[in-house]
Amino acid sequence: MKPPSRVREMPILRVIARALVPVILLFGLYVQFHGDFGPGGGFQAGVIFAAGLIIFALVFGAEALRQVVPVVLTERLMAAGVLLYGAVGVVAMFLGGEFLNYSALDPLTTGHYGQHLGIIVIELGVGIAVAATIMRVYYAFVDRRADEDGTGADPALDAGAGGEAT
Amino acid sequence: MPPVELLLMLLLLATVVVVARLQDLFAAAMLTGIASLLAAGLFVLMDAVDVAFTEAAVGAGVSTVLFLGALSLTSRREKQQERTRILPILIVVATGAALIYGTWDMPAYGDPDAVIHHHLAPELIAETEEKIHIPNIVTAILASFRGYDTFGEVVVIFTAGVGVALLLGGLGPRRRAGHGEEES
């Protein structure tokens, strides 16, 4: 019997993961959108969000995650995050400021609302790019594994349980 | 040094020594995660909450998973070294000694007279609220005052992701067929 399937069938893991993953994703969103008031920001939020989804994949299989977030989507989001960040800079230029000078986003006041808006949008860009990149790297490992032995086995669980291979 | 910091530092030291000596790479990967968590604890004690946050999420969380992913592509145990090599040990010891020697010139931890507390920091602390209008100064500095650097960092992350994807199978339509999604 292959260890991965045994690990995946453990009811405790499945129940805990089912309960924890939504909380982790929600916490990721909190860190994303509360980064201007508390510790955190786009980078940490992206990592937490991706980690939550990867935990889901570890317990329920990478195929289950692929249904939610296809590989192609992660590739597009990687680029979209970077472009969103850059776009804020370009919009600031069109509104008469320098590149990435968010004060120009809000010409009516002294500029600090523009700063706040700019920071929220670029942090969102950072979060999207980081989360998508981490998931794309994870998929790269999973696919490589599938190429080698033809199973859809999950790499992390195999490493954890398949010690007798050597 | 306060006792909690000392304890964390000793645990960190013990962990990294064990990681270096372990032959079992699975255990080594888990212990690097623990080392990151201990480092994150130290950062919290130094009031560097944002850094601790990153260290815990990246070092203890995601990179452990990626280590395990890499391990599943290779062997779980390190190959036995026939003989102890002297030159690498010498280089490591010399580099470590140089780094420790470098810390002698650093100001004492928490020294209010240190240059870093007089140059830029007071102005940033005084002006952030009025100029940027958000309470987290770290976020304000990273996202606005040095927005160019952060943009560069995001591009670096993007490039790293593209690089890993290309090395391990390719991107987009030319990706090697994973699970019959596409034929290559």
**Contact present, A69 and A130 (Cβ < 8 Å):** no
B66: chain A residues, CB-CB within 8 Å: 137-138, 141
Domain boundaries, chain A: 3-156
pLDDT of residue A161: 43
Task: For chain B, list the strands marked E by DSSP.
Answer: none
DSSP 3-state assignment of B24?
Answer: strand
Distance between CA B17 and CA A6 in Å, rounded?
33
Of B49, B53, B68, nearest to A160 by CB-CB distance is: B68
What is the CA angle A63-A68-A72, rounded to 5? 85
Return the residue matching tokens 């990294």: B16
A141: chain B residues, CB-CB within 8 Å: 66, 69-70, 72-73, 168
Nearest residue of chain A to residue B61 (CA atoms): A51
Would you call A3 an interface residue with chain B, using a CB distance cutoff of 8 Å?
no
Would you call A8 an interface residue with chain B, using a CB distance cutoff of 8 Å?
no
pLDDT of residue A135: 94
Chosen from A120, A143, A149 to mutate, greatest number of chain B CBs within 10 A: A143
Nearest residue of chain B to residue A35 (CA atoms): B139
B137: chain A residues, CB-CB within 8 Å: none
Find, among B102, B31, B176, the residue nearest to A143 by Cα: B176
User: What does the pLDDT look like over A9-45, one tens digit per residue?
Assistant: 788 888 999 999 999 999 999 999 988 888 888 899 9
B160: chain A residues, CB-CB within 8 Å: 133
Whether the predicted pLDDT of B36 surpasses 50: yes
- Ordered structural domains, chain B, with CATH: 1-81 (1.20.120.1200), 113-176 (no CATH)
Return the residue matching tokens 């592509």: B73
User: What does the pLDDT look like over A41-57, one tens digit per residue?
Assistant: 889 999 999 999 998 99
Return the residue matching tokens 């860009």: A125
User: What does the pLDDT look like over A99-121, one tens digit per residue?
Assistant: 988 888 887 766 678 888 889 99
